[in-house]
């Protein structure tokens, strides 16, 4: 008999000691950001109402066989916020703290990000509530395939296109693609490769996608440095989260002469005022699983990490990390949001009062979805662009979005985040006004 025990559903473990509990409801923060910009653009109240909630909320519970023969039930989400600008688009997160409001917020930010970047996609996000670190590669493959199967026709290359996020990577995307292709029953399977982006280049991914978010982040920092006359050579920075976004951003920024002095992840925090070597730390994290114990830095606690004086602070882990507790500790000129939603409303107010500039998530980390769009285009056209071509196109799009933010900030007298949302909402409103609201 199938040993399926509902009590074995994955539950969130206690938050690690090094991480603070989320300070605010993340979906409410996303809504407040949207409403603030809606006032500035005098958004049609009907459009404001539509955008205040996602269009579709899908929750699936699915069983997966573990290596020991037992079965475990997993909870997965796919939230489709808006497809007025194009197919739903957004990552899939594997993390023990995934919950409905989090995925709703992340989906709403994707709508704003794609509209800001002028990419023809809407917004979505997905997740499965479990800790991928606790599972073997075989279990991860079965979880991914079973989740993809459970999503069924709710995803598709012209309908809803997932991508990697926390806890997922190019391998996860290739498993998703393969499962979708084999379930769709179409003879031309290659036409379905665009169902996900962030695949490995050998399986239809784009060159340059792996480090695109980190690179895009650095392009926005360069724009800020050019705008303010700041010299990145010798500048100091700290990174929270040393995964795809944080590690690539650190590596690329250090090539410009900037010095990484503090890093925190789910295992702990380290500091070295002489400089942490980004690549050596990456190798260590890949081997050991986290930054704790890295020999090239002193061990510090969460409070010390946030208090370390740096020019640039890059949150690249969870949301709501910069809040009423941590923002007063921070001593930096610039916060560049690699993570989605790392700053809550209190944190944002405190940073503003203290004169800290914020480059908001929907701009700063948009390099990932931008190169995902390039990948989707390459799949449709059966092309393979060079890495140089990808990076050049990305740079131009990041520069254009930064220039738009800067212009709207000055014209409307608003902060960077609101300026970005203003551009996104104005574009969405223009489409609604032309098409009308169905029926």
Residues in contact with ligand NAD by CB under 6 A are 19, 164-167, 213, 240-246, 264-266, 290, 316-318, 338-340, 365, 368
Omega of the bond prior to 390 within 30 degrees of 0, cis? no
In the complex, least distance from residue 185 CB atom to ligand NAD, rounded to whole angstroms: 30
Among the listed residues 30, 48, 50, the one whose alpha carbon sits nearest the alpha carbon of residue 362: 30
Among the listed residues 280, 251, 282, the one whose alpha carbon sits nearest the alpha carbon of residue 265: 282
In the complex, least distance from residue 229 CB atom to ligand NAD, rounded to whole angstroms: 28
In the complex, least distance from residue 172 CB atom to ligand NAD, rounded to whole angstroms: 11
Query: Which one, 80 or 240, has the nearer CB to ligand NAD?
Result: 240
Query: Which one, 172 or 429, has the nearer CB to ligand NAD?
Result: 172
What is the SS3 assignment for 88? strand
Query: Which one, 311 or 319, has the nearer CB to ligand NAD?
Result: 319
Dist CA 77 CA 302 (whole Å): 31
Query: Which one, 165 or 311, has the nearer CB to ligand NAD?
Result: 165
Q: Which residues pair with 64 in a beta bridge?
A: 72
Burial 46-82 (b: 16+ CB within 10 A, else e): ebbeebeebbeebebebbbbbeeeeebebbbbbbbbb
Work out the angle at residue 109's Cα, subtended by the Cα atoms of residues 123 and 250, and round it to the nearest 5 degrees: 115
Q: Are strands 88-95 and 123-129 parallel, antiparallel or unpaired?
A: parallel
Query: Which one, 43 or 110, has the nearer CB to ligand NAD?
Result: 110
Dist CA 172 CA 143 (whole Å): 10
Is 125 one of the catalytic residues? yes
In the complex, least distance from residue 227 CB atom to ligand NAD, rounded to whole angstroms: 23
* Cβ-proximal residue to ligand NAD, closest one: 243
| Cβ-based neighbour number of residue 145 at 10 Å | 18
Selecting among 104, 125, 129, 199, the annotated active-site residue is 125
Query: Which one, 87 or 162, has the nearer CB to ligand NAD?
Result: 162
Dist CA 107 CA 103 (whole Å): 6
In the complex, least distance from residue 360 CB atom to ligand NAD, rounded to whole angstroms: 12
In the complex, least distance from residue 367 CB atom to ligand NAD, rounded to whole angstroms: 7
Q: What is the DSSP code (8-state) at residue 208? A: T
What is the SS3 assignment for 160? strand
Place of tokens 């509530």: 129
Active site residues: 125
């Amino acid at each position: 008999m199938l040993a399926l025990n509902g009590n074995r559903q994955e539950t969130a473990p206690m938050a690690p000691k090094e991480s603070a509990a989320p300070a605010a409801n993340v979906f409410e923060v996303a809504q407040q950001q949207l409403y603030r910009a809606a006032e500035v653009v005098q958004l049609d109240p009907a459009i404001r109402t539509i955008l205040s909630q996602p269009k579709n909320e899908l929750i699936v519970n699915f069983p997966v066989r573990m290596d020991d023969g037992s079965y475990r039930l997993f909870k997965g989400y796919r939230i489709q916020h808006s497809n007025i600008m194009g197919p739903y688009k957004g990552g899939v997160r594997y993390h023990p703290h995934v919950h409905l409001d989090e995925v709703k917020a992340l989906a709403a930010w994707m709508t704003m990000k794609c509209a800001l970047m002028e990419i023809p996609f809407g917004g979505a996000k997905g997740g499965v509530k479990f800790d991928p670190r606790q599972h073997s590669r075989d279990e991860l493959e079965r979880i991914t395939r079973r989740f993809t199967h459970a999503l069924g026709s709710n995803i598709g290359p012209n309908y809803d296109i997932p991508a990697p996020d926390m806890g997922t990577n190019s391998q996860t995307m290739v498993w998703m693609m393969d499962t979708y292709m084999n379930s769709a029953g179409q003879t031309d399977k290659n036409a379905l490769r665009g169902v996900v982006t962030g695949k490995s280049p050998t399986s239809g991914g784009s060159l340059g996608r792996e480090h695109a978010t980190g690179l895009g982040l650095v392009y926005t920092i360069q724009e800020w440095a050019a705008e303010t006359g700041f010299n990145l050579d010798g500048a100091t920075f700290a990174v929270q989260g040393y995964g795809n976004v944080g590690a690539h951003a650190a590596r690329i920024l250090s090539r410009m002469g900037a010095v990484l002095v503090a890093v925190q992840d789910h295992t702990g925090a380290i500091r070295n005022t002489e400089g942490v070597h980004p690549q050596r730390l990456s190798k260590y994290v890949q081997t050991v699983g986290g930054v704790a114990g890295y020999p090239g830095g002193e061990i510090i606690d969460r409070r010390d990490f946030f208090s370390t004086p740096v020019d640039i602070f890059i949150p690249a882990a969870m949301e709501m990390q910069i809040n009423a507790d941590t923002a007063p500790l921070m001593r930096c000129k610039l916060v560049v949001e690699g993570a989605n939603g790392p700053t809550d409303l209190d944190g944002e107010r405190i940073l503003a009062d203290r004169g800290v500039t914020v480059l908001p998530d929907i701009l700063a980390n948009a390099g990932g979805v931008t190169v995902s769009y390039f990948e989707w285009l390459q799949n449709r056209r059966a092309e393979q662009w060079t890495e140089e071509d990808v990076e050049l196109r990305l740079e131009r799009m990041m520069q254009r979005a930064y220039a738009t933010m800067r212009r709207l900030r000055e014209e409307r007298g608003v902060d960077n985040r609101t300026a970005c949302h203003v551009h996104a909402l104005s574009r969405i409103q223009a489409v609604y006004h032309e098409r009308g609201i169905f029926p």
